[in-house]
Amino acid sequence: MPTILQVLPSLDSGGVERGTVEIVEALVAAGHKALVASQGGRLVAAIERAGGQHFTLPLKTKNPWKIWRNADALAQLIQAERVDLIHARSRAPAWSVLRASKQTGVPFITTYHGTYADTSKAKRLYNSVMVRGSLVIAASGFIAQLIQQQHGVPPARIRLIPRGVDPQVFDPHAGLGLRVARLATAWGLSEQTKIILLPARISRWKGQDKLIEALAALKRPDVLAVFVGSDQGRHAIVRGLLDQAAARGVTSQIKLVGHCADMPAALMLADVVVSASTQPEAFGRAVIEAQAMERVVIAADHGGAAETVTHGETGILVPPGDVQALTEALNATFDASAEDRQAMGQRARASVLDHYTIDGLQRATLGVYDEVLAGRR
């Protein structure tokens, strides 16, 4: 029974964290021993419910001395639990994993989750730890290409495994009426209001400001933009968005509702879902979640979204940062017939079921584990 250790900074929220839980579930179902090391967070309980074990270490740090000390702690854990393979999911912890791997002789792999700033030689060196394992998992074709260009990694060492959704959880026909009604009440939404949903943490590059500009240009007072996602303490950005909305005269047409634990219900409230990131997303799980719920998606035409959205078929792509194009796409969506919007949503869900499911992600990831372990044997 192989023992697999996943290592990441924390387990609060986000695609990396949820992906960690999903792999724990797959490992336990396959009869493997699933361990996770992180600084902790709200998803620790999910790890334990899935049958995994969590070990709390101060891994959410970029301090070189603490990274060095974390390597010793990880090496002790690896030896005590007889770990067969380590899966590093973030750069700073990956440096600790690299040293622990050398100390123990236990191989490691990585998942290259982000685009990572590449503005200097020091940054490139820091990022390079994510390609120093036995194999590198890329979350999209875009990331696979980036790995090859920035780090010179041959395609033979890269495994393309896109993220996925659970089609039973993200199912528009699963009888979500009561959950949707409760959420609408909690957020103070009117049935007469048309909803634009932007699901993303509050960040300068996630495009909340672009949607506010588009909302002002729409001149549709019956439209409300709902921003779903934690500000993670970025209060200055939130104040900036509120000031921007006030200056554009659309304060009454935006809501910042913070983290939402019931995204299927949230997505069912939406007439259209927007992903307006001004920098390319490594993958963009929010897009496929919305598609799985048969929502019309408008996404920036770069990064992972350019792979998961087929323009005019399973969604709408607009040039990144182009407020006019976003405004036109929103207008076209609101003006389209209910039948046309429904047809696009159905095509989007069919695409997700074919290409982007959790089951596919789990089977492919466990296949990578088996590949490395077979090479070790």
Please tell me the CATH superfamily of domain 177-355, with its number. Glycogen Phosphorylase B; (3.40.50.2000)
User: Which amino acid, 27?
Assistant: L
For residue 377, pLDDT over 80 is answered with no
Over residues 102-116, mean pLDDT = 94
Contacts of 2 (CB under 8 A, 6+ apart): 32, 33, 84, 85, 369, 373
Contacts of residue 94, Cβ cutoff 8 Å, sequence gap at least 6 = 7, 88, 108, 110, 129, 130, 132, 133
- Please give the helix or strand (H or E) that residue 54 lies within, else none: strand 53-56
Give the start-to-end residue ranges of the domains of the chain.
Answer: 3-164+357-376, 177-355
pLDDT tens-digit series, residues 271-294: 999 999 999 999 999 999 999 999
Assess contact for 256 and 227: CB atoms under 8 A: yes
For domain 3-164+357-376, say whether CATH 3.40.50.2000 is its number. Answer: yes
Helix (H) or strand (E) run with residue 88 in it: strand 85-88
> How would residue 98 be classed by pLDDT, with cut points 50, 70 and 90?
very high
Q: Does residue 376 register a pLDDT over 80?
A: no
> In this structure, are residues 192 and 222 in contact, taking their beta carbons and an 8 Å threshold?
yes
Domains 3-164+357-376 and 177-355 share a fold: yes
Query: How much of the chain, in percent, has pLDDT values that exceed 70?
Result: 99
**0.85 exceeded by pTM:** yes
Would you say the C-alpha torsion 120, 126, 132, 137 has a positive or negative sign?
negative
Digit-coded pLDDT (tens) for 46-85:
999 999 999 999 999 999 999 999 999 999 999 999 999 9
Dist. CA 48–CA 52, nearest whole Å? 5
